[in-house]
Amino acid sequence: KVCVAPNDPDTLITASRDKSMIMWKLYSENNEICGEMFKSLTGHNHFVSDCAISKDGGFIVSSSWDKTLRLWDIERCVTKRIFNGHTNDVMSVAFSGDNRQIVSGSRDSTVRLWNTLAVQKFVFEEKGHSDCVSSVLTLPQSSSLSIVSSGWDRVIKFWSLKPAKCQKTFSGHTNAINSISICPDGSLMASGSKDGSINVWNLIKSKLDNKYLAGDSVNCVSFNPHFFLMAAAVGSTILLYNLSTRTMYQTVSQIDLKEAKTLPTVTTLTWSNDGCCLYAGYTDNNVRIFGCRPDTKN
């Protein structure tokens, strides 16, 4: 997982299977963007699967295969809270829009809601997922907390808090869903699946808007924050889609790996705050940065 600090566009946070998170300071050298590690956050005793940063940039919440979440004080590099309750690997985590609540999804098939004091407020189970919950998000433009989750059971579920229940379910994929992303205005959602497809959903009309065939398992999807574009991680390549023309307009491949016996897989994608750079995490333990200055605005 790669996250960008909302209050500092030159700071990246990466979560890794080495059980740690690292903070990087970005700088320019020879017309290239480079990163230098300046902080390390350790404490989990298994893979760190996901992380999210609070809007004020003061805290990180992380999820791990050690079945816990952790809330971190970024300035002091210490764990403030440990969240216990999941009975299997925690796969995904997200802050609510006001940063007062935290949502998690786990291989135990549950979506859970917590406050920042690590008190579990609710377990969403009724009409819930029947397999691993791969990704959780909160709707950005919702007046009250609305949660979206995807799972290996091939469906996407929308959860309300008052009343606490599943409001609707989207079906359409034929294999596990690996990733979901919601565009900044909350009107569209993308889902990437192991079935090799990307579904784009119209959240206003609650229906499928378009389907893209990527040709291989889609590990991650990510909407650009300012341009009407979407990126998808497929194998060792990144596919860029123009949502206005509904076309895939560019394939990004790493050209400096010609001597590698097997190309590393792209596992995660995150856009810079201005939408002009794409940060990609690979299975060879590297984050690569790609410039992107499109003409298509929202």
The domain ranges of the chain are: 1-171
Task: Give pLDDT tens digits for 109-157.
Answer: 999 999 999 999 999 988 999 999 999 999 887 767 899 999 999 999 9
181-184 long-range contacts (CB < 8 A, ≥24 apart) are 181/137, 181/221, 181/222, 181/223, 181/230, 182/137, 182/139, 182/140, 182/148, 182/223, 183/223, 183/298, 184/140, 184/223, 184/225, 184/226, 184/298
Note the pLDDT of residue 113: 97
- Banded pLDDT at 261 (limits 50, 70, 90): confident
CATH class assigned to 1-171: mainly beta
- In the predicted structure, residue 298 carries a pLDDT above the cut 60: no
